[in-house]
Amino acid sequence: MDRRDILGYLGDDWIRTGDMIRSSLDSDIELLNWTNAYILSHGGKQLRPLLALLMARACGGGPLPEDSIRYAAAVELLHNATLLHDDVADGSMIRRGSPTVASMLDPEHSVLVGDYWLVKAVDLVLGADRNVTVVIRLFAGTLARLAEGEMLQLQKAASADTSEEDYLRIIGDKTGSLFETACLSAAISVDASAEWKRVAVEYARNLGYAFQIKDDILDYAGGDIGKPVGVDVREGKITLPLLGALRRVDAGLQEEIRGKVRTVREHPGYASDIMDFVREHDGISYAQERLRVFSGLAKEALSPLPGSPAKDYLVALATFTEERKK
């Protein structure tokens, strides 16, 4: 899949979204403008506004109303606001292959800029013509899920007793919720039917699972994801490749490995032991199997939508999620 083809298809709608993101962030504070420009210049894949515009096209057909552009821009602002906060919570030095705002300036700057982006996302939604209350509640629910997912992950990092059910809850809240908000707000913006709104949520939920599982596979297998391999292990996070490996050993060895995860911050050398354990017990293959399941469910969810280039690109994104190297 070539991202340039999708951007070419979206045309002016993509340009309008980018322009709206930039204009919404404009300030007379020089340091804030400089920081915003730095973040935008390292903007990553911008997958969430891409999904939003494609879903709006798939559900709405013709030219997109301004509300579609507003919601697509708002979800990207919300996403980056959470990253700015996450970098402080995680002590991250690198994001998308470049220094984080927290490491270049300080954590306080990162939190303040994250707050600014969050407020600007809300401003964009409030400026919509219709369904403002519905979409504001959707964004508020997403923020609650993001916080809950982060807190559950912190809780499980301390206890190292993460189950697969816990893992799916965490990634559903931390990753899937933003995918769902992008796609559902897009469907709302074009007055999609109740059935098509369900399609948008089901597709986004399963794509979110697949996307995060792929990231977690790359954290063990390697890839161009803008961060070193093994970061999750060193932070005491139990993700699907490790859960897959744990399924293949007896209870005693499971407890030994979980104990190393629990104390990995005090004993950094345990990280390589855990990485080796996952490779030796083929945890990556288990995660890849689950990845294919969720990617397939995302594609199946789109079946009720009529044929269109937008639908085809949504299917292609699910396939790309399985195959991507970064």
pLDDT at 310: 98
pLDDT at 224: 52
133-168 burial by CB neighbour count: b if 16+ within 10 A, else e?
eebeebbeebbebbeebbebbeebbeebebeeebbb
- Please check the confidence at residue 45 and state whether its pLDDT lies above 70: yes
The answer to which of 84-88, 186-190, 213-217 has the lowest mean pLDDT is 84-88
Mean pLDDT calculated for residue range 112-140: 97
Mean pLDDT calculated for residue range 114-127: 98
**How far, CA to CA in Å, does 182 sit from each of 49, 186, 204, 262, 326?**
7, 6, 8, 35, 21
pTM of the model: 0.94
Confidence of residue 131 (pLDDT cuts 50, 70, 90): very high
- Please check the confidence at residue 223 and state whether its pLDDT lies above 70: no
Cα angle 188, 192, 195 (rounded to 5 degrees) comes to 115
Mean pLDDT calculated for residue range 44-58: 96
- Please check the confidence at residue 225 and state whether its pLDDT lies above 70: no
Whether the Cβ atoms of residue 274 and residue 246 lie closer than 8 Å to each other: no
Confidence of residue 134 (pLDDT cuts 50, 70, 90): very high
Average pLDDT taken over every residue of the chain = 95
pLDDT > 90 fraction of the chain, expressed in percent and rounded? 88
CATH of the domain at 40: 1.10.600.10
Mean pLDDT calculated for residue range 183-197: 98
pLDDT at 227: 55
pLDDT tens per residue across span 232-277? 999 999 999 999 999 999 999 999 999 999 999 999 999 999 999 9
Confidence of residue 228 (pLDDT cuts 50, 70, 90): low
Mean pLDDT calculated for residue range 60-79: 95
- Please check the confidence at residue 51 and state whether its pLDDT lies above 80: yes
Domain that includes residue 54, residue range = 3-323
Confidence of residue 41 (pLDDT cuts 50, 70, 90): very high
Strands 98-99 and 94-95: antiparallel
Mean pLDDT calculated for residue range 43-48: 89
The answer to which of 91-100, 192-201, 202-211, 247-256 has the lowest mean pLDDT is 91-100
Mean pLDDT calculated for residue range 84-108: 88
Q: What's the domain count of the chain?
A: 1
* 83 closest CA partner among 23, 18, 38, 17: 38
* 200 closest CA partner among 311, 43, 277: 311
pLDDT at 243: 98
- Please check the confidence at residue 29 and state whether its pLDDT lies above 70: yes
